[in-house]
Structure 1
Amino acid sequence: MSRLEHEAEVLKLARFLDVEAEALDMLGEVPAADIRALRAQVTHFFFASDHHFFKRLVAASRLLPVSLLATVAGKVLGPMLSARVAGQMDVDRGVGIAQRLPTNFLAELCLSLDPEHTQDLIRAMPTQRIRDVARVLAAQGEYVTMARFVDIVTEEAIRGVLEDLEDDAALLHIAFFVENKARLERILALMPEARLVRIIELAAARNDLWPEALSLMEHVGDGWRGRLGDLAASLDDHVLDSMIRSVVAEDLWSVVLPVVGCMQLESQARFAMHPSMQEPAMLHSALQAADREGTWHLMLPVVEQMDDTARAAVAQQVDALDGEQLLRVAEVASVEGQWQSLLAIIAAMAPQQRTQMMALLGVAPERTLQGLPEALEATRQWALLDSVWADLGANAQARLRKAVAAAGLEERLGASSPS
């Protein structure tokens, strides 16, 4: 899970415990999945406590008319205790009571309601009632609460809420906290493309919304990632500029690169060749993040979409990587079949840097060199090896020659690489 996922889980736990997120700083290194499991356990414990008391209370309530129960809920129990009772209530009677309670009361009740224990009741609620409550929650900025019900309410209710919720920023905030991210795809399918474009443009106009927008892209399937990414790449240059700068500022390369990988080639090229991506600071940030987060397999294809000038800029930043980092890049190129992308960077290196890179490959494990000779053959770039051969040490020459011979391509080594 990404840092965005971790942040969302901390905020949801803080909301349930009714504390500020800063009070949970001790969870900074705890995986998001563990925080989610902790929240589930805390929720279960909270609603299991006094379970028998509320069950007896509901049993006694069956003797009273619905109209009187609505009065008791509003005047005696209040929203929080009514939420506890709702989990034990018969669906039909629960709906009848909810129909008689003020909308603002129901909205406050939702803050303490557990969707898991009340899903049958929630699904039975009239769509218009859900829309009314959703408008109040949205106006109060209760995005965490709204997100908890996305996986429970009917599609008809979601469609209605989308029609009512004109604030696209609120929509992004809600999506950030959605429990079942797979449901997001169905929600996106209910929205016209014009609104999707409007949301992306809003994120570009307000950089503080890019984390939410990218989180949305992160938690849908490849098809929707590609579609949303293509939409962003098709808009004015300032949209991609805003995205890239936000990615650097928030350190979100591990989030954006999978999205770029799902784009059409034309969109990938536009991202890779955007002027913002050519800035040394941007490239440095991207390469360091790729090594730190193990996403070289996503970064290398981006470089392949660049022209020679842009690749030369990448090569300059690669020069700042140490030997271990460079070997990790080569290992990824071998495992992922991306030698062609790495060769594009090597070809853009200055002669001395290229010699150092080839010498480093000469001491790499044999498994790392797998695929290199075939990539040199496919791209017709044997000159990259031949041009530095004389400057390589004997051991490096021997290891590279062995890899080339294992691929059955030893005759491709030029005259400058004697036996």
Structure 2
Amino acid sequence: MSRALERRGELQRLARVLGVEPDDLGALDGADVATLRELRHAVADRLLEQSRDQFSRAVALGDALPASVAARLAQHVMGPVLGGRAAALLSPRKAGELARRLPADFLADVACHVDVRKVGPLLEDIDRGTMAEAGEHLRRRGEWVVLGAFVGHVRDDVVADLLDGFDGEALLRSGAVIEDASRIDAVVAMLTDARLDGLLRAADEHALWTDVVSLNVHLCDAQLDRVASAVERLSGPRIEALAALLAADDELRAAARPITRRLSARFLADVAADVDLGRVGGILEGIPTATLAQAAAELGRRDAWPLLGRLLTVLPEDVLADLRPELDDGLLRRAEETDAAAGDGPPAGPDGDDAAGSAKSPPAPPTRR
């Protein structure tokens, strides 16, 4: 996860504890992630200690009452803010009993005010159906920070139930603020290829490429392979949008390298026909020389010499210098000759059109979806 993305998530969590908007925390612009997290924990601890005596008495009263009565008191007397803070003092058994008797929308309200460090052990006694229903309410409200905090404290089967109701945008917005980053790989593993495709499309449609690329650093090889395959299934305009983002951000480009170095030679040959090669340098820069050489050979086999010449032209100088020794001399010469001829421009025909306009074009690969 990039430092900017991690810091954004921590600011959102701190704002929630303080009961303000993230934009109200401009005075903390110079604070790093660790400092923001320490401040959030200190505030949450102080809020609990400030009212510990009152909360302890309320919890003791709840223990002495039937669970149905205690649930009504929690909902109508304490409310979600105080109930969320007092939840840290509940026993796992009592938490489970109350959760079964409280409406899911109220549980979602309470979830916005609990300190997950304190209530994590309580979640085991809350049944997965109740958890999933409350999570669905949080999704509808766009409470991504709350959802991201709980992912690290609930079982995989509960997370899987919750993800079933998420579209690509919801997956991405909640995944980008998962507090326990070690869980990101497991969450991605729960997604089918179709849902992974939807996540990448959402990144393009909602300008969230930064979020999805930043998550790559937390993925194992198997999930990185799946993400690379999903990138290869993107349409040309989406590839261009991703490449433009990478070209403009050194940190993000470095985070994307585990993906770009997994892109296949056949994909590069195919994409050469679908995109403006001048706009995809952010992707080409991270691709291994051997893969570029294989892509060049594939374009040669397709007689796509203009595309190959253009590819060689847009590669960064240092990449091209490493690539030249890997290319067949005849392949390289023909590609450069074709590119030079294209640069000079073909002679005009009798009607003012390019004379080459009537020449047979080299066969192109099938257009990707």
TM range (shorter): 0.7 to 0.9
Instruction: Check conservation: 2:236, 2:271, Cα contact below 8 A.
Output: no
Instruction: Check conservation: 1:272, 1:303, Cα contact below 8 A.
Output: no
Instruction: Check conservation: 1:240, 1:274, Cα contact below 8 A.
Output: no
Residue 276 to residue 43, structure 1, CA distance change in 2 (3 Å): farther
Instruction: Check conservation: 1:244, 1:277, Cα contact below 8 A.
Output: no
Q: Distance in 2 between matches of 1:23 and 1:303?
A: 50
Residue 177 (structure 2) aligns with: 177
Residue 192 (structure 2) aligns with: 192
Q: Distance in 2 between matches of 1:315 and 1:118?
A: 52
Residue 141 to residue 64, structure 1, CA distance change in 2 (3 Å): same
Secondary structure (helix, strand or coil) at the match of 1:235 reads: coil
Q: Distance in 2 between matches of 1:136 and 1:63?
A: 31
Instruction: Check conservation: 1:244, 1:276, Cα contact below 8 A.
Output: no
Matched, 1:73 2:74: yes
Residue 142 (structure 2) aligns with: 141
Residue 62 (structure 1) aligns with: 63
Instruction: Check conservation: 2:239, 2:280, Cα contact below 8 A.
Output: no
Code of the aligned partner of 2:292: Q
Q: Distance in 2 between matches of 1:158 and 1:49?
A: 33
Instruction: Check conservation: 2:15, 2:22, Cα contact below 8 A.
Output: yes
Q: After superposition, give the CA deviation of every residue in 1:121-154 in whole Å (9 maximum; x if it has no partner).
A: 2121011111111111111111111111111111
Normalised to the residue count of structure 2, the TM-score between the two structures is 0.72
Q: Distance in 2 between matches of 1:268 and 1:31?
A: 40
Residue 230 (structure 1) aligns with: 229
Q: Distance in 1 between matches of 2:189 and 2:291?
A: 32
Residue 85 (structure 2) aligns with: 84
Aligned residues: 313
Residue 207 to residue 97, structure 1, CA distance change in 2 (3 Å): closer
Normalised to the residue count of structure 1, the TM-score between the two structures is 0.65
Runs (4+) of structure 1 moved beyond 6 Å?
none
Q: How does 1:308-387 map to 2 (within 5 A)?
A: 309-315=310-316, 343-344=321-322
Q: Distance in 1 between matches of 2:153 and 2:267?
A: 36
Instruction: Check conservation: 2:175, 2:184, Cα contact below 8 A.
Output: yes
Matched, 1:35 2:39: no
| CA RMSD between the two structures | 3.4
Instruction: Check conservation: 2:167, 2:198, Cα contact below 8 A.
Output: no
Matched, 1:216 2:215: yes
Task: State the percentage of identical aligned residues.
Answer: 24
Residue 363 (structure 1) aligns with: none
Code of the aligned partner of 1:225: L
Instruction: Check conservation: 2:144, 2:177, Cα contact below 8 A.
Output: yes
Q: After superposition, give the CA deviation of every residue in 1:291-311 in whole Å (9 maximum; x if it has no partner).
A: xxxxxxx84847983767545
- Aligned-pair distance for 1:67? 1.8
For structure 1, list consecutive stretches of 5 or more residues without a partner in the other structure: 288-297, 319-340, 348-375, 380-419
Instruction: Check conservation: 1:147, 1:179, Cα contact below 8 A.
Output: yes
Q: 1:305 aligns with which of 292, 314, 318?
A: 292
Residue 198 to residue 267, structure 1, CA distance change in 2 (3 Å): farther
Residue 187 to residue 315, structure 1, CA distance change in 2 (3 Å): closer
Instruction: Check conservation: 1:233, 1:267, Cα contact below 8 A.
Output: no
Secondary structure (helix, strand or coil) at the match of 2:152 reads: coil
Q: Distance in 1 between matches of 2:211 and 2:149?
A: 16
Q: Which has the higher contact order (CA 8 A, sep 6+)?
A: 2
Instruction: Check conservation: 1:146, 1:174, Cα contact below 8 A.
Output: yes
Secondary structure (helix, strand or coil) at the match of 1:208 reads: coil
Residue 196 to residue 270, structure 1, CA distance change in 2 (3 Å): farther
Q: Distance in 1 between matches of 2:102 and 2:20?
A: 28
Q: Distance in 1 between matches of 2:78 and 2:156?
A: 31
Q: After superposition, give the CA deviation of every residue in 1:279-324 in whole Å (9 maximum; x if it has no partner).
A: 2x765x899xxxxxxxxxx8484798376754544456x8xxxxxx
Q: How does 1:289-304 map to 2 (within 5 A)?
A: 299=286, 301=288
